[in-house]
Structure formats: structure tokens, C-alpha cells
């Protein structure tokens, strides 16, 4: 494994699917709840995501794409008791259980930070990279993603001698796992092994009166510890800390809404962790060069931190220096003033604001859309090569989106059988575009 500063991490971004809609399915996610029932713009959502991927490439950071999952999830609807052909199943679900139809149509898989937790080969005791697929059982619509994502990741990483893709943890509330949104890898310059920070919201020994009172705590400590074991991390390389309940109740349903860390930099709100001073002291012991920019409640109130998603920015090491890629919602007011302090202090060299309005309306900023992969050259070479992007591939994907995605999607159109067939045609064309063969079950079923 190269040193922490020698090679940029590969960014693996999810792509919004043709059924991108605002179903209000994520309790505790303020943006998701606020925009429930609004009409969505699937084409704009996908093109905004691709524009962000192009920006990352322009910065000199390697970029890959993770394909949409098939939606609607017809298997889920049939298991729920709806029968007949596909049109009949959709009609029954829309009439008798519209909530289940919204679950089956969810495009929340676009937020790839929740897909898995990554333990690099340089950190694991068996010297293999480990991707532990998240079970996402805290929310019903995201729980549908887990096993399909594991299968897709194995297509992207077909060599288990280099990259191991683990099945999700058991679907138990005791092991509720939300992926890399609650995990950060920190590392000093020229240091080979990283130090892993796992953040949880609840644990078996945390009494109910110490839990958040407004919104549920999704990540369990038991799940984080299980992920560390599966990733072959030694005890000395991991720290498990609790997120402040006040942050969760303010809408920080994942820790990446109040913190982002990369290498020896950490950008954090003062309301992030329980016993935050002690946590930061411990982190500095393991990463002595760690630079922490802690933002006070006075400078950026917690509710504004959540609404702006400033801490859900991507913190990147690039050939031009350290970059903060922030959502355009943080380009004004108190959040913008914080970014100027980051520049003035030398914490980052550049700040860029990215328009991700469709993703933001569903509750996901720049960091939600990507999974960070610290891979060595041999591991990157073992990947499915067609998902690693260049400018030509992004142009091809933009053309594909323009051809297949609807400009606007109303909630009532989720039951439209034409949407099902449009989506299948789009995904079939996408697998051909990227030379991935029969990736989806519906493709294999028709052979």
C-alpha cells in the first residue's frame, strides 16, 4: 500500500436511477422529509452527478461510477403478496399499498457512501482490501439495496485475492450498519497504515435516556466493531466513538453530516462527538500531524450546518493541493464564511461549490454520493476497467442519460408500467455501454 499522501484515492460515485423521486422515506433526514411528494427531475439528478464526477477528474483525482440498481424492485413487491404480470403488480401496489411502491421505486442507492465500509490492504492484517457491504436496515427502502449492492460490487471487484467483498451483516437491529458515512480513515503523511475512526449512535449499553429523543440513531457500535473484525483491523488501529445525540436530533442522521476527514485533516462541528475533546486528543496520539478545524456553534449553528451540508463536502488531496468540494447550498451566509476561514488558515488550498440540488433535496451532498477507495495500482488494475471514467466515458454517460431519463417525474407516475420498461431498457443499454454483460436479474431472466 502506498503512503497516505502518494496517490489520490479512487472516488466511486453512485448514479441516480430513472426512478429518482422524493418519497419522504428517510425519517431523521430533514431534506428527505421536507421534500416528500415533490415532483423530481431524474435527468437533472443524473447529469448533476456526472458533472461532479467530471469536476473530480478535472482536479486530477481518479473517478469511477457505480451503476443504478434495478427499480422498481419487482421481487420485493411479489414477496409482499402482489401477483400477476408486472403491470398488474404495479397497479395493485399503487392502489393497495402506495408506501410499498415508493420503497420499491427508491433511487437512494445513488448515495454510495452508505454502500460499504472500506478497509485498505495496507491496514488489514491479511493484506487484502475489504469492502464490507452495509445492511442499511435502519430504513426500509435502503434495506432493499444490501444484497444487490454486494453482488454488483463483486462484479466490479472480481478478484477476492486482492479485494474481498463481504456480504452485509445479519439483518438485526443490533448490527445496524450504514456504511462509510460513519467511518473515516486518517493517516499522517508518508505513513503506510491508517487509523480508523468509527462513529455510532447507539449501543447495547447506552441507556434509553441517553439516546436521541427526536430521531433514531441508525448506526450501532456492535455493527461498527463487526465491520472492523471483518476488515481484519487490529485493535490498535481503530477507535469507536459515539455521535452526539443533539446532532442526530438536529438531522445529522449520519456522522458525515457534521464531519469530514481525509489524511491528516479533519473538518468538524463542535457538536459532533460525545466527549469531543478527549476524542480529538486520542486521534492526535495516533496521527500526530492531524490538523483539526473545529467549527463552533456560534460560527455555524447546528441547524445551518445540517441545512447547508457543508460538512458533507468532499475533502480531497489533488495535484493542485487540498480541495474542499462543497454543495452550492453552502456558498452563502455563515457556511460560506466558514469556507473562507478554511482558505485563510491554509486548511485547504481551494474551495469549489457544486450544484447537486436534486441530490440535496433528497438529503445527500457531495460526500454522500461517493465511496472512497484507497487502492494500490494492482487493486485498481483488477477492477472492471469500464467503470473507471475519463472524459469520453462521461460524455457517453451523459448522452445515455439524455436518451433514457425523464425530465420530470410526478409521484402518481410511479405506477406507470411504461416507467418500468423505460428503466429496464436504460439499464440494459448501460451494461452494453460499459461492457458489463448481463448484470441485472431481469437481463438473465429473458435469456
Rounded to a whole number of angstroms, the CA Rg of the chain reads: 21
pLDDT of residue 7: 62
Helix (H, G, I), strand (E, B) or coil at 307: helix
The domains located in the chain, with CATH, are 10-71+106-445 (3.75.10.20)
End-to-end CA distance of the chain: 42
> Over the stretch 350-407, which tens digit does the pLDDT of each residue have?
999 999 999 999 999 999 999 999 999 999 999 999 999 999 999 999 999 999 999 9
d(CA 427, CA 406): 14
Helix (H, G, I), strand (E, B) or coil at 287: coil
Q: Residue 44 pLDDT more than 80?
A: yes
Average pLDDT, the chain: 96
Nearest alpha-carbon partner for 369 in 325, 414, 339: 325
Please indicate whether residue 178 is annotated as part of the active site.
Answer: yes
d(CA 444, CA 447): 5
Please indicate whether residue 254 is annotated as part of the active site.
Answer: yes
User: What mean pLDDT is predicted for residues 331-336?
Assistant: 98
The catalytic residue among 9, 178, 329, 379 is: 178
Residue 224 dihedral angles phi and psi, to the nearest 5°: -60, -40
- pLDDT > 90 fraction of the chain, expressed in percent and rounded: 96
Cell of 303: 441547524
The catalytic residue among 272, 368, 379, 404 is: 368
> If you count them, how many residues does the chain have?
447
The H-assigned helical ranges of 63-160 are: 74-79, 86-96, 98-105, 140-143, 146-156
The H-assigned helical ranges of 290-356 are: 302-308, 333-345
Nearest alpha-carbon partner for 227 in 123, 117, 371: 117
* Lowest-confidence region among 26-30, 82-86, 204-208, 406-410: 26-30
> Over the stretch 258-307, which tens digit does the pLDDT of each residue have?
999 999 999 999 999 999 999 999 999 999 999 999 999 999 999 999 99
Cell of 401: 442519460
The H-assigned helical ranges of 157-230 are: 221-230
Q: pLDDT band at 239, cuts 50/70/90?
A: very high
d(CA 107, CA 62): 25
The H-assigned helical ranges of 372-446 are: 377-381, 391-404, 417-433, 441-445
> Over the stretch 297-317, which tens digit does the pLDDT of each residue have?
999 999 999 999 999 999 999
d(CA 306, CA 250): 7
The catalytic residue among 130, 166, 254, 404 is: 254
d(CA 99, CA 80): 12
pLDDT of residue 1: 44
pLDDT of residue 189: 84
> Over the stretch 179-206, which tens digit does the pLDDT of each residue have?
999 999 999 887 779 999 999 999 999 9
The DSSP output letter for 256 is G
d(CA 309, CA 245): 18
> Over the stretch 214-224, which tens digit does the pLDDT of each residue have?
999 999 999 99
Amino acid at each position: 500500500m502506498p503512503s497516505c499522501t502518494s496517490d489520490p484515492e479512487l472516488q466511486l460515485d453512485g448514479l441516480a436511477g430513472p426512478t429518482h423521486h422524493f418519497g419522504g422515506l428517510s425519517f431523521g433526514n430533514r431534506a428527505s422529509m421536507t421534500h416528500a411528494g415533490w415532483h423530481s427531475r431524474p435527468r437533472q439528478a443524473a447529469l448533476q452527478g456526472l458533472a461532479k464526477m467530471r469536476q473530480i477528474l478535472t482536479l486530477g483525482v481518479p473517478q469511477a461510477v457505480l451503476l443504478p440498481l434495478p427499480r422498481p424492485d419487482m421481487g420485493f413487491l411479489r414477496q409482499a403478496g402482489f401477483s400477476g404480470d408486472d403491470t398488474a403488480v404495479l397497479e395493485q401496489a399503487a392502489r393497495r399499498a402506495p408506501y410499498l411502491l415508493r420503497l420499491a421505486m427508491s433511487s437512494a442507492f445513488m448515495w454510495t457512501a452508505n454502500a460499504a465500509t472500506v478497509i485498505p490492504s495496507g491496514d488489514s492484517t491479511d493484506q487484502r482490501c475489504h469492502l464490507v457491504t452495509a445492511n442499511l436496515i435502519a430504513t426500509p427502502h435502503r434495506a432493499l439495496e444490501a444484497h444487490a449492492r454486494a453482488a454488483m460490487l463483486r462484479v466490479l471487484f472480481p478478484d477476492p485475492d486482492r479485494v474481498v467483498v463481504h456480504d452485509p451483516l445479519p439483518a438485526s437491529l443490533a448490527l445496524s450498519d450504514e456504511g462509510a458515512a460513519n467511518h473515516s480513515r486518517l493517516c499522517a503523511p508518508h505513513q503506510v497504515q491508517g487509523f480508523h475512526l468509527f462513529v455510532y449512535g447507539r449501543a447495547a449499553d447506552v441507556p434509553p435516556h441517553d439516546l436521541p429523543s427526536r430521531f433514531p440513531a441508525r448506526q450501532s457500535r456492535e455493527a461498527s466493531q463487526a465491520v472492523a473484525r471483518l476488515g481484519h483491523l487490529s485493535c490498535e488501529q481503530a477507535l469507536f466513538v459515539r455521535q452526539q445525540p443533539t446532532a442526530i436530533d438536529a438531522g445529522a442522521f449520519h456522522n458525515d453530516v457534521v464531519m469530514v476527514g481525509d489524511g491528516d485533516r479533519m473538518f468538524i462541528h463542535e457538536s459532533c462527538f460525545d466527549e469531543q475533546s478527549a476524542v480529538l486528543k486520542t486521534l492526535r496520539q495516533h496521527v500526530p500531524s492531524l490538523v483539526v478545524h473545529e467549527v463552533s456553534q456560534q460560527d455555524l449553528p447546528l441547524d445551518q450546518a445540517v441545512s447547508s451540508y457543508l460538512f458533507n463536502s468532499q475533502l480531497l488531496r489533488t495535484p493542485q493541493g487540498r480541495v474542499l468540494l462543497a454543495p452550492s447550498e453552502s456558498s452563502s451566509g455563515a457556511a460560506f464564511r466558514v469556507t473562507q476561514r478554511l482558505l485563510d488558515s491554509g486548511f485547504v488550498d481551494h474551495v469549489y461549490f457544486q450544484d447537486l440540488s436534486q441530490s440535496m433535496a433528497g438529503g445527500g451532498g457531495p460526500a454522500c454520493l461517493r465511496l472512497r477507495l484507497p487502492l494500490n495500482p494492482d487493486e485498481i488494475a483488477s477492477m472492471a476497467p469500464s467503470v473507471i471514467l475519463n472524459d469520453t466515458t462521461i460524455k457517453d454517460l451523459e448522452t445515455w442519460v439524455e436518451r433514457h431519463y425523464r425530465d420530470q417525474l410526478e409521484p402518481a407516475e410511479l405506477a406507470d408500467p411504461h416507467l418500468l420498461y423505460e428503466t429496464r431498457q436504460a439499464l440494459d443499454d448501460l451494461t452494453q455501454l460499459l461492457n458489463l454483460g448481463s448484470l441485472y436479474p431481469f437481463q438473465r431472466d429473458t435469456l
